[in-house]
Amino acid sequence: MGGELRTGEVTIQQVATEAGVSPSTVSNLLNGRNHRMLPETRQRIERAIDKLGYRPNRAARQLRTGRTTTIGLVVPSVGNPFWGALARHLESAALAEGYHVLLCNSERDPRRERDYIDELWADGVHGVVLCSSLPSLEHVMPLVERGLQLVAFDRTSQAGDPASLVSISVDNAIGSQLATQHLIDLGHRRLAFVSGALASVNRKERYRGFTGALEQAGIDPATSVRAPVKGDADDFGDVEASELGRAAAAELLALEEPPTGIVAINDMCALGVCRGLRDGGLEVGKDVSVVGFDDIVLADLYAPTLTTVRQPMQEMAAAAFSQLRSRLDDSGPKQGQSLLFRPELIVRESTVAPS
């Protein structure tokens, strides 16, 4: 049969015969046209595919449909285990539905993001999960206007965003507020917030949560410290977060009244802070308390274990893929949507009452 897809000796016709359906029904499932398909029919086809070991020819499918079952994932850097975890969970969700993921590291550089997405578009990849959290998406708007489906991860909706944009994020302000309130409840009053430049949406939200918790507790935010004073560049990337935290700790220890509690922008930064405090002869979880954000795998392996704010990564990654796929499959109008997930405070050994 001229239009039949083959992988070794297994064909769509054989899958159809095994499942007791027509070849066109099998084709509909393989190409995502299964919105009106009965669950029992889909299950029979999937069992037949598994039993026969059928694998569709992706190149032939792209020629026929003009689209690929590959999506793009643009992250700041997998040097931060948080982004590596996102890539793993997103890929798992994608593979379960017959999709593949191409990973790009942008270092939050708008030009690199644009270049990567341009290349993905040229290769027929029309869906991208973008994780830079930059305030403006102007650099990718030309492709969005041409039909690029975009999911913004770790970024809430902003003024000027395209109407079709899907935003998926944890509630960063609430997360930072939980971290700060935890220190306040322990009795800390001299608090510091450690971050690079507040140039991204998520960083601004986390700092807002920090100051909000102080105000709610009757602590003047002006008495707190946002460190570091130096090296606060807009191009600060996640790879350097640990070194920034270490340098910030040295600056904080040089103050006339160093803080007793520190909230870091993320776990890698927090681990750097812990190292810097140790360099200064202090003991984390005894002399100074430190809270991170993300709950990366290292948070529970470091000594002392790190109190942090957990993001529901698996659920967020699954939602990102689901939202992107629904927009790639749907030929109708695509409305924007904002999904906000609730963070969870994970208390470990790095936070105690001030001595």
Instruction: Flag whether pLDDT at 124 surpasses 60.
Output: yes
CATH number, residue 114: 3.40.50.2300
Instruction: Flag whether pLDDT at 120 surpasses 70.
Output: yes
Q: 321: phi > 0 → left, psi -120 to 50 → alpha, else beta; which? A: alpha
- The rounded distance, in Å, linking the Cα atoms of 148 and 128 is 8
Cβ atoms 169, 155 nearer than 8 A = yes
Instruction: Flag whether pLDDT at 67 surpasses 70.
Output: no
**Number of domains comprising the chain:** 3
* pLDDT the model gives residue 3: 39
Q: Decide if 350 is inside a domain.
A: no
Instruction: Flag whether pLDDT at 7 surpasses 60.
Output: no
Reported as a pLDDT band with limits 50, 70 and 90, residue 4 is very low
Cβ atoms 149, 120 nearer than 8 A = no
Instruction: Flag whether pLDDT at 173 surpasses 80.
Output: yes
Instruction: Give percent of the chain with pLDDT exceeding 90.
Output: 68
Note the pLDDT tens digit of each residue in 230-268: 444 344 444 478 999 999 999 999 999 999 999 999 999
Instruction: Flag whether pLDDT at 6 surpasses 50.
Output: no
Q: Averaging pLDDT over each range in 13-27, 123-137, 172-186, 241-255, which range is the top one?
A: 172-186
Q: Decide if 351 is inside a domain.
A: no
**Domain identity same for 47 and 139:** no
| Least confident piece of the model among 71-85, 116-130, 210-224, 320-334 | 320-334
**Domain identity same for 316 and 167:** yes
**Domain identity same for 299 and 179:** yes
* pLDDT the model gives residue 224: 83
**Domain identity same for 52 and 129:** no
Place of tokens 């800390």: 188
Q: Decide if 5 is inside a domain.
A: no
Reported as a pLDDT band with limits 50, 70 and 90, residue 192 is very high
* pLDDT the model gives residue 236: 42
What is the average per-residue pLDDT within 42-50?
A: 88
**Domain identity same for 86 and 151:** yes
**In terms of residues, how long is the chain?**
355
* pLDDT the model gives residue 62: 55
* pLDDT the model gives residue 232: 40
Q: Decide if 1 is inside a domain.
A: no
Please give the radius of gyration of the chain, using alpha carbons only, rounded to the nearest integer.
Answer: 24
Domain of 127 in residue numbering reads as 70-171+312-342
Q: Tell how strand 127-130 and strand 149-153 pair up.
A: parallel
Instruction: Flag whether pLDDT at 308 surpasses 90.
Output: yes
3-state secondary structure of 29: helix
* pLDDT the model gives residue 240: 79
Q: Decide if 221 is inside a domain.
A: yes
**In sequence order, what DSSP letters do the residues of 149-201 get, joined into one string?**
EEEEES----TT--TT-EEEEE-HHHHHHHHHHHHHHHT--SEEEE-S-S-SH
| Least confident piece of the model among 8-17, 153-162, 327-336 | 327-336
Distances (CA, A) of 311 to 31, 176, 223: 33, 12, 29
- The rounded distance, in Å, linking the Cα atoms of 237 and 197 is 10
Cβ atoms 292, 264 nearer than 8 A = yes
Q: Decide if 138 is inside a domain.
A: yes
**Domain identity same for 21 and 78:** no
Instruction: Flag whether pLDDT at 63 surpasses 60.
Output: no
**Domain identity same for 176 and 292:** yes
